[in-house]
Amino acid sequence: MPKLDPSSDEFRAAGHRLVDWIADYLDGVDRYEVLSRVKPGDIESRFAAAPGAKGKPYDALIAEFESKIVPGVTHWNHPAFFAYFSITGSQAGILAELLTAALNANGMLWKTSPSLTELEIVTLRWLRESLGLPNGLFGIINDTASINSFLALAAARDALGLDIRARGMTGRDLPPLKVYCSEHAHSSIEKGALALGFGADDVVQIPSDDAYRMKADALESAIARDRAAGALPCAVVATLGTTSTASVDPLPAIGAIARRQNLWVHVDAAYAGSATIEPSFRWLWKGIEHADSIVVNPHKWLFTPIDCSVLYTRKPAVLRNAFSLTETPAYLTMTDTAEINYMDYGLQLGRRFRALKLWMVMEHYGTERLCAVIRDHVGYAQQLAGELSKREDIELLAPQSFSVVVFRRIIRRDREVDEEGSERTTTELLERMNGSGRIFVSHTRLRGRFGIRVAIGNGATEWKHVARVLEFL
């Protein structure tokens, strides 16, 4: 009888080789070009039309991985990766992923792997305390903030008490349901709302102030306008650390309005939330007592490999009501315990053992080291902003915030800024940076102005990597 893996001999040899490969990769990642320069289809064309009928030894596959696959990889582990929100697959996280794969546990129910559920409970309690979040929050790990914000909006919709779970949203007399967020909220809010049957027109984008923070008075008048028109306000999303500029919406004011108006408050702190492990950044949570749900991504700025996004909620019963099965199929019923079955708190049935990597990261590095690295990142961003603001030809497009810096190059004509010329020279600068292979930055548009956006978040980044930005000016 053929077995899939007749022995572990090949595995053992290849495994040792791969650990060495990974260590060499991490030590030498700066040798690679950050941004892959392959053309669309280049990688696809390197592979045969169908997989082989006969297997290949691991050595041959490792060689193919290096020659065919690595050239099309953009190196998120590169210390000069400053695009989007840079993330790190830390050594502790990589080792934990190896163990997760080895166990291949599926945590749909408590009993399908008690450690999976209970380590999730423990690590999320640790994380909550380490970030200075309030007591009494239920936590769950999902793959991304997008999914977690979707779950939060589902709970918000359920909390309206309109019996949507039983009766749905169509073929009945329902007012339009509204979700409010700032014009700088992440696109996942709109996507989540769409999936829940809100219309795109029902996701109301509230204008922001000079520092790209939601205007609370504009929120209040939008709610009043919608109520007058017969709509039903459902939820407001406050972003603490927006994607473009890391601006922070005024949660105390937003929360007070939401309380008066009986709205669910969802806090999207996917990026900046991790920074609050450092106590001096805890001001971020001002007003957090108003939040019904909060999302934080350890896979963004807490050195945990993607994917690991945490949803906290003060109202787990509402979330559970939105997602637990009315009648649990017999093969899923729990007779022996009353422990948490995480499948009841979200869309997925099967779930990976993601708490293992968060546990390994928190315990291996310890909170002091994590704080120190995050402080350094913010320090580098401040230093970069300081250097940039000394230059006549550079304009910071947003107040420097957390580890994000947004700037453009300006051209002046008769002392006036030449908008078109500035955009051209900034675009040219961006292309030169990203074409060099030495650095990868992204861009954004703020009040019509095109800017280069630098976000620092990689565990191996030093000032010398950040200083490369200045070399291109």
Ligand X SMILES: *Cc1c(COP(=O)(O)O)cnc(C)c1O
Q: Which residues bind ligand X (CB under 6 A)?
A: 85, 144-146, 186, 188, 239, 241-243, 268, 270-271, 297, 309
Q: Tell the smallest beta-carbon distance from residue 291 to ligand X (Å).
A: 14
Q: Tell the smallest beta-carbon distance from residue 384 to ligand X (Å).
A: 20
- Given the complex with ligand X, which of 377 and 409 has the nearer CB atom? 377
- Given the complex with ligand X, which of 301 and 345 has the nearer CB atom? 301
- Given the complex with ligand X, which of 455 and 469 has the nearer CB atom? 455
Q: Tell the smallest beta-carbon distance from residue 425 to ligand X (Å).
A: 28
Residues 83, 441 contacting (CB under 8 angstroms): yes
- Given the complex with ligand X, which of 270 and 360 has the nearer CB atom? 270
- Given the complex with ligand X, which of 80 and 294 has the nearer CB atom? 294
Q: Tell the smallest beta-carbon distance from residue 469 to ligand X (Å).
A: 21
Amino acid, res. 3: K
- Given the complex with ligand X, which of 304 and 309 has the nearer CB atom? 309
Query: Which tokens go with 100?
Result: 């997760």
Q: Tell the smallest beta-carbon distance from residue 147 to ligand X (Å).
A: 7
What lies within 8 Å, CB to CB, of 114 at 6+ separation is: 339
Cβ density class 145-157: b for 16+ within 10 Å, e for less: bbbbbbbbbbbbb
Q: Tell the smallest beta-carbon distance from residue 275 to ligand X (Å).
A: 12
Look up residue 203 and give its DSSP letter. E
Interhelix angle 251-261/216-228, rounded to 10 degrees, is 20
Q: Distances in Å between the alpha carbon of 402 and those of 69, 240, 257?
A: 34, 11, 27
Cβ neighbourhood burial of 373 (10 Å; 0-12, 13-18, 19+): buried
- Given the complex with ligand X, which of 29 and 240 has the nearer CB atom? 240
- Rounded-to-10 torsion of CA 449, 403, 91, 297: -80
Q: Tell the smallest beta-carbon distance from residue 144 to ligand X (Å).
A: 3
Element (H, E) at 11: helix 9-28
Residues 310, 276 contacting (CB under 8 angstroms): no
Distance CA 29, CA 23 (A): 10
Q: Tell the smallest beta-carbon distance from residue 19 to ligand X (Å).
A: 28
DSSP letter string over 359-420?
Answer: HHHHHHHHHHHHHHHHHHHHHHHHHHHHHHHT-TTEEESS--BTTEEEEEE--EETTEE-HH
- Given the complex with ligand X, which of 30 and 209 has the nearer CB atom? 209
